Amino acid sequence: MFAGCHEGLAPASASPTVSSYGIRGVITFKNWPPADSVHDLRLGILQNYPVQDIPNEVLQGHARFTDRLPYGLDSVSYTLMLAPLPPGRFPFVGVAQQFGPNIQTDWRVVGIYYAGGDTTKPGAVDIPPDSVVPSININVDFQHLPPQP
Amino acid sequence: MQWFLLLLFVVTFSVHVAISQDDTRGIVQGNIRSADDKQPLFGATVLLQGTVYGTTTDQNGSFIMKNIPQGSYTLTVSMIGYKRVLQSVSIQRGDNPLLAIELEPTVIQTAPVIVTANKHEQSLEEVPVSVSVVDDRTLAYRNAVTVDEALRYVPGVNITQSQVNIRGSTGYSYGVGTRVLLLVDGSPLLTGDTGEIIWESIPTVSIERIEIVKGAGSALYGSSALGGVINIITKRAAEHPETRLRLYGGVYEMPRYSEWQWSKDPRPFSGIMGTYQQHVGEWTLGFGGSRTVNDGYKRNDFWKRWNVWSRVGYDLSAFQSVDISFNLLDQRRANFLYWKDLNHALEPKDDQLFQRVQSLRWSLSGNYRYFVSSGIFATAKLSWFRSRWDDNIPNRFDPYGSNSRSDFLIGELQMNYRPASHHMVTAGINGNFNNVDADTIFGKHSSIGSALYLQDEIAIPDSIRLILGGRYDYQKVEGIDRFSQLNPKLGLVYSPTGSTSLRASLGSGFRAPSIAEAYTTTDAGGITILPNLDLQPERSLSIEIGGMHTFGSTVTTDLALFRNEFWDLIEPSFAADGYVHFQNITRARITGGEFVLRLNALKGLLPAQVSYTYVYPEDLTKNDILKYRPRHLVYVSLQGILPPFTLGADFRYISRTERIDDELVFSGTVPDGDQRVEIYVTDVRVSAELRFAGLSITSTFHVNNLFQYYYTDFIGNLGPTRNYVLSVETVFQ
């Protein structure tokens, strides 16, 4: 009777061509700073790298992040599903810390995924459909931060 | 509580002994029927004007009032859907002749008498502002478990989660400070800490009607009445004992998409509610309670509630009465803040899965009424609202969760003086005290305030009614500069014919910052919120012109044009220090119009209402649209009555919310939080009403969200999925 033809919102993965894919691994931590300087801590994956404006990449939907990572642990395992981003090559995986109160500007990279022992540049990850790529491991040493992108 | 009860007792007793009792009393009784089909009218209100005496008719349309002092009175009979009747009666000692009164049906499907607009009883056509009314039959008809559910089809009103918007006034204020004032029998019922409305604390079975006054109302009611006033009128006992019982049960259908199916089975909900009311001599007694549970269509969104309600009244004389009301809510609920993401739209983030909130809230109020003479009526009110809640939601300031206890006390003296039949003066004095004890989240703070108000209402001649008034408020919140506020009010009603009335009004409003807005210290979703002691009150100015016209006996139209100006609206926002504070940052303007069409075809067998509200909500500070204010609201309600069956359908269209909190999306706090659509929801029901041997049974089958339409009613919160409900209500008399 009333506008029944609309169905409203639907899951982003409702399309039959989209399936479960992502990355998983372990993050190890050393030399934690005081808790009041860790406002937030997340693992993120970028579709494009390098980029000039990471917040804009996020707003444009070209990145995915985990939930907030817990403070003070020696290591934590994670799984990050990437939908609605399409599968493919992701050139950057890293851990970012919000070190100050300003949620828009007070961020820095504290750990980067490197592939094949090459620590000169971030390691790219190829993620096929229907696959969660394992062993995307990252070491975070808060006293020895990687080069900032 | 002891001193409160003692005070009520002293007032009651001292007045009682001061009044000499008159032994020469009589009985007035009668029968009320519909003028068109001569059927008895159940639930009509019968009042002796200028006295405390009043009752409602039983299922046979009969009423009786005993112990009435001899004399001449005016009897008022009113009922929704019928024209009010005034009839002179002369009461003699003992029994008096049976009155037979017939009411003419009217197309106006609302209460013929309201009290909220000007703090005294008057007809809807006599008020200069837009007013809507929801009666107890509608509450039962829609199986409204909480009051906000009953407001979803009121013209110009929409609900964002549980926060009420009247013509876009409130938006969404995160549960700290409503811009619509809630009253219960004329007394404010807002929590002392957050200044919010707790809908579930008012059991719907205790309600006679709900009056919704649109536009600023601080000239009579003070703080929080920026966008409007909602007044809940509770039931008074009839002369005959009445027991009312309502049971309901239902399930939410599984969502269409497998990604959203977090539960193996459909989620159930159920409830039982009951009331008992009786008149015993000079006493009126009313008791009630309910147990309601809802497993939630969203994961970790269940709740369980106990409600207890009582109202005890005593007629000290023909002209004085006192009553005491008590409400209690005991609630346990889980916490669903935002969805995990659109692919898990009915599941919260994992860290919310074990979050729980428990609350115990009660209110106690006393009300003394005194008809000093035929032209002077005085009331004294005292109310106390205790709110306590605890949660286990950790934050950086308290890893074990938060808790708060608040006590909000309000006292008011009011006098209505009618020097002539066309002239009414209303004056009053008000005081309030608020104390909050909340550990870390709000701290320990208090506030105090007082107010004076005066209003003059005069008809010159009968076709023109002029209202002029104002209220002066003083408020002091601990730690914040004291402030005072003068709110004027001007209204005009012109009734050139019996079927047309034109109205115009101007009024201002304000809202004092709540203690929560001033002192909140917590973090949520990685965002830290800290106090701001520089807060000032919000202010508003409302202008409305409108008119109502009735075409014959089947069509009524109402058109209103309005503009609301707002200054210093308080919103949470990032400050220069990088933390979030509640701040006076928004200058806003809401302009719009509202059209309501009511039909009453086939002699009331096909009632219908269509309303359209348009608002243009401007954020003048950011030169943008205000957050959480949809521009278009369309509500359609249809009924088909084929005794004993009634078919009904309600439809609501709410346009897509244009602006939300983008920061929550940007920060990743609410993944896919920008996903939202316009709302199209259709609810249908069929009911059957059977009566025999003094027993009335009404069974109703509801299908809500018939077309399983998925929408968000707030950022990251999917609205209810299709659900099926069977409700049964019985009335014993």
Q: Which pair of structure tokens corresponds to residue B640?
A: 């088909």
For every residue of B438-460, which 3-state class applies, written as one string? EHHHHEEEEEEEEEEEEEEEEEC
pLDDT of residue B405: 97
pLDDT at B173 over 70: yes
Contact B367, B236 (CB under 8 A): no
Indicate the average pLDDT of chain B. Answer: 87
Q: What are the beta bridge partners of residue B367?
A: B323, B381
Contact predicate B444/B438, CB 8 Å: yes
State the average pLDDT over residues B497-526.
88
Is B263 in CB contact (< 8 Å) with chain A? no
Is residue A129 included in any domain, yes or no? yes
Q: Where are the beta strands (DSSP E) in B620-716?
A: 624-625, 632-642, 645-654, 679-692, 695-704, 712-714
What is d(CA B62, CA B33) in angstroms, rounded to the nearest whole number? Answer: 9
- Nearest by CB: A8 against B343, B668, B711: B711
Is the complex ipTM more than 0.90?
no
User: What is the tens place of the pLDDT at every residue in A107-120?
Assistant: 899 999 999 888 88
DSSP assignment letter at B238: -
Closest CA to B508 of B535, B539, B483, B481: B539
Per DSSP, helices labelled H in B58-202 are 136-141, 147-150
Which of B709, B711, B712, B715 to mutate against chain A (most A CBs within 10 Å)? B709
Residue B712: closest CA among chain A residues belongs to which residue?
A9
Residue B461 has a pLDDT of 75
A114 touches A75 (CB < 8 A)? no
Per-residue pLDDT, averaged over B392-397, amounts to 82
Nearest CA of chain B to the CA of A117: how many Å? 31
What letter represents residue B710's amino acid? Y
How many structural domains are present in chain A? 1
Q: What is the dihedral of CA A115, A116, A120, A121, to 10 degrees?
A: -20
What DSSP string describes A78-112? Answer: EEEE-TTSPSEEE-EEEEEEE-SS-TTT-EEEEEE
Does A32 map to a domain? yes
Confidence of residue B616 (pLDDT cuts 50, 70, 90): very high
Q: Is residue B580's pLDDT more than 80?
A: yes
As a dihedral over the C-alpha atoms of residue B176, residue B178, residue B181, residue B183, rounded to 10 degrees, the angle is -40
Q: Is residue A2 part of a domain?
A: no
The answer regarding whether domain B2-103 maps to CATH 3.40.50.2000 reads no
The pLDDT of residue B17 is 39
Domain-embedded: residue A78: yes
Task: Give how far Cα B642 sits from Cα of B12, B42, B292, B703, Å.
Answer: 49, 18, 31, 20
CATH class for the domain made up of B113-236+272-732:
mainly beta
Structural domain harbouring A83: 14-141
Residues of B within 8 A of A40 (CB-CB) are: 526
Q: What span, in angstroms and rounded, lies between the C-alpha atoms of B77 and B215?
A: 29
Band (A13; pLDDT cuts 50, 70, 90): low
Q: CB B711 to CB A55 under 8 A?
A: no
What pLDDT was estimated at residue B156? Answer: 96
Report CB contact under 8 Å: B526, A39.
Answer: yes
Of B443, B537, B419, B520, nearest to B486 by C-alpha is B537
**How confident is the model over B377-393, as a mean pLDDT?**
94
Contact B244, B216 (CB under 8 A): no
Nearest to A11 among B342, B396, B709 (CB): B342
Within 8 A by CB and 6+ apart from B627, the residues are B171, B172, B619, B657, B659, B660, B661
B269-285 b/e with 16+ CB inside 10 Å = b?
Answer: bbbebbbbbbbeeeebb
DSSP-assigned letter for residue B19: S
Q: Which residues contact B548 (CB under 8 A, 6 or more apart)?
A: B125, B500, B501, B503, B556, B557, B558
Q: How confident is the model at residue B7 (pLDDT cuts 50, 70, 90)?
A: very low
For residues B458 and A76, which has the higher predicted lDDT (pLDDT)?
A: B458
Q: Is residue A112 part of a domain?
A: yes
Q: What integer best gives the mean pLDDT of chain A?
A: 83
Closest CA to A23 of A146, A132, A135: A132
CA angle B629/A67/A81 to nearest 5° reads 100
The CATH code of the domain that includes A27 is: 2.60.40.1120
Q: Is residue A146 part of a domain?
A: no
Could you say which of A8, A12, A42 has the minimum Cβ distance to residue B343?
Answer: A12
Could you tell me if A44 and A67 are in contact, meaning their C-beta atoms sit under 8 angstroms apart?
Answer: no
Residues of A with CB under 8 A from a CB of B: 1-4, 6-14, 35, 39-40, 42, 55, 58-59, 65, 67-68, 83-84, 98, 100-104, 106
Looking at chain B, which residues constitute the CATH 2.40.170.20 domain(s)? Answer: 113-236+272-732
- Would you place residue B525 in the very low, low, confident or very high pLDDT band (cuts 50, 70, 90)? low
pLDDT over threshold 80, residue B177: yes
Q: What is the mean pLDDT of residues B391-409?
A: 88
B84-135 residue pLDDT tens = 788 888 888 777 778 999 988 775 545 456 777 777 777 777 788 888 989 8
